[in-house]
């Protein structure tokens, strides 16, 4: 009897040890470099699966993208001391993105920026869009591309391609629009974004990315010390509804940013345009004239030494300095984002172009291909 008890105890000990060993061997989910977990981005929206796509380059930089809204979730690049730093704001779960009304890191369409009174005409036909910004249609309306499910294909360890079909009449826009957007993390630490689209009916298109950048490496800080330069002699002044009234020179105004200066240097100056927008929230008319090898803008954070250069083939760049960010918004890893806690640089055609025949056209016709290119390149100095 004693032998049986001893044998039973030995068996129990072995099973216990084996159980512990098995438990220890069970793989645990590994976080991304930015501390994100793929499982927190895996769900279903409208019957389609969401996921987190991780891009890495040869230098150890990392970018994460989710296919809900085609959003850039994180970008990890080295600071002046080699410390990997997340330079974009966002959330650490897909549910937080869905619950938010903001557009952190999102792909914006069918028309980025504002269309006055939510209306425009093509060949004599008037199209009516949702008004979600006073009387304007902003960023394609409340259910724009930033809140749609994109089909994702990770073509390599450094690139992910997203596709979406915007159906004829969606948000009031004409034509079935087939959109392809490719995010690539290059080996020189740049986020390269290529946008392509075709339509079966004459329409308007203006796609962009709405990432909120903070290069400081200090979670929860403002960007007022970030040094900003914009390669533009002109901008599009706005009315009280932030709709362009034409094109004006930057000379002698706080919008002259041809030489780098801290964002906070003049953002609150007593200047009509700044008062209307609550700070910088304007479209600059780029001097680059579609040449995406020329620098369109730069942002530099003295604390981290991180420099971001922007390149684009677009004629305009909307620069927004978080004037309308909530005073407190909890983002990744519990970080509380303050007002003016980030800067957005949205490559684009000018706001309300469909209602301004003198602006570069955003019309896309059947048989044509829409192509837009933007690069955010990171280095240190």
Q: Quote the strand ranges of 96-144, DSSP E.
A: 106-108, 114-115, 119-122, 125-128, 137-138
Q: Which contacts (CB < 8 Å, 24+ apart) does range 162-169 have?
A: 162/65, 162/67, 162/70, 162/107, 164/70, 166/109, 166/110, 168/200, 168/201
148: tokens are 């749609």
Sorting pLDDT into bands at 50, 70 and 90, what band is 282? very high
Report yes or no on 88 lying in a domain.
Answer: yes
The pLDDT of residue 89 is: 98
Calpha distance 248→359 (Å, rounded): 13
Per-residue pLDDT, 228: 98
Map tokens 């640089």 to a residue: 345
Report yes or no on 20 lying in a domain: no
Over residues 12-25, the mean pLDDT reads 41
Let me know: does 138 contact 113? Beta carbons within 8 Å.
yes
Average pLDDT over residues 260-276: 98
Mean pLDDT value of segment 252-265: 98
pLDDT at residue 58 greater than cutoff 90: yes
pLDDT of residue 8: 41
The pLDDT, as a whole number, for residue 222 is 97
Question: Could you please report the per-residue DSSP string of 8-45?
Answer: HHHHHHHHHHHHHHHHHHS--PPPPTTS--GGGG--EE
Q: How confident is the model at residue 327 (pLDDT cuts 50, 70, 90)?
A: confident
In a domain, 81, yes or no: yes
Q: Is 163 a residue whose pLDDT tops 70?
A: yes
Is 210 domain-assigned?
yes
Find the domain containing 375 and state its range.
38-380
Q: Clarify whether 210 is annotated catalytic.
A: yes
Q: What is the pLDDT of residue 328?
A: 78
Residues 226-242 have pLDDT tens digits of: 999 999 999 999 999 99
Residue 329's pLDDT is 86
pLDDT of 111 strictly over 60: yes
CATH for 71? 2.70.98.10
Whether residue 357 has pLDDT greater than 90:
yes
State yes or no: is 42 an active-site residue. no
- pTM for this predicted structure: 0.92
Domain for residue 92, yes or no? yes
Please state the rounded mean pLDDT for residues 70-75: 98
Residue 7 lies in a domain: no
Neighbour tally for 132: CB within 10 Å:
19
Strand partners, 280: none
Residue 347 domain-assigned (yes or no): yes
In a domain, 30, yes or no: no
CB within 8 A of 335, min separation 6: which ones?
A: 219, 220
Share of the chain above pLDDT 70, in %: 93
Q: How confident is the model at residue 209 (pLDDT cuts 50, 70, 90)?
A: very high
Q: Is the pLDDT of residue 135 over 80?
A: yes
Active-site pick, 139, 210, 282, 356: 210
Domain count along the chain:
1
Q: What is the mean pLDDT of the chain?
A: 93
Query: According to the model, what pLDDT value does residue 125 have?
Result: 98
Marked catalytic residue, from 62, 170, 346, 356: 346
- pLDDT for residue 20: 40
């Amino acid at each position: 009897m004693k032998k049986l008890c001893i044998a039973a105890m030995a068996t129990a000990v072995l099973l216990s040890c084996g159980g512990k060993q098995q438990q220890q061997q069970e793989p645990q989910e590994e976080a991304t470099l930015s501390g994100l977990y793929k499982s927190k981005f895996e769900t279903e929206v409208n019957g389609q699966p969401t996921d987190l796509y991780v891009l890495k380059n040869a230098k150890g930089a990392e970018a994460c993208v989710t296919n809900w809204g085609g959003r850039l979730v994180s970008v990890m690049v080295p600071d002046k001391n080699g410390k990997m730093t997340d330079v974009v704001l966002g959330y650490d779960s897909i549910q937080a993105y869905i619950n938010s009304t903001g557009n952190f890191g999102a792909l914006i369409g069918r028309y980025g920026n504002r269309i006055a009174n939510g209306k425009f005409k093509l060949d004599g036909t008037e199209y009516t869009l949702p008004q979600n910004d006073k009387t304007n249609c902003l960023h394609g309306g409340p259910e724009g591309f930033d809140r749609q499910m994109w089909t994702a294909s990770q073509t390599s360890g450094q690139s992910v391609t997203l596709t979406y079909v915007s159906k004829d009449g969606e948000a009031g826009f004409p034509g079935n629009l087939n959109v392809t957007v490719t995010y690539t993390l290059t080996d020189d630490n740049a986020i390269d974004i290529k946008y392509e689209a075709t339509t079966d009916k004459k329409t308007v298109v203006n796609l962009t990315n709405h990432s909120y950048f903070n290069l400081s490496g200090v979670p929860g800080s403002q960007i007022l010390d970030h040094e900003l330069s914009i390669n533009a002699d002109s901008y599009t002044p706005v009315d009280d509804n932030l709709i362009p009234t034409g094109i004006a020179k930057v000379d002698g105004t706080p919008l002259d940013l041809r030489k780098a200066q801290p964002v906070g240097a003049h953002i609150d100056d007593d200047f009509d345009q700044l008062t209307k927008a609550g700070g910088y929230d304007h479209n600059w008319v780029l001097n680059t004239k579609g040449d995406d090898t020329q620098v369109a803008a730069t942002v530099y954070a003295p604390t981290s030494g991180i420099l971001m250069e922007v390149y684009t083939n677009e004629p305009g760049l909307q620069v927004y300095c978080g004037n309308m960010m909530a005073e407190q918004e909890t983002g990744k890893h519990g970080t509380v984002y303050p007002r003016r806690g980030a800067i957005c640089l949205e490559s684009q055609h000018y706001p309300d172009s469909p209602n301004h025949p003198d602006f570069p056209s955003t019309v896309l016709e059947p048989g044509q291909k829409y192509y837009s290119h933007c690069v955010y390149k990171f280095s240190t100095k």
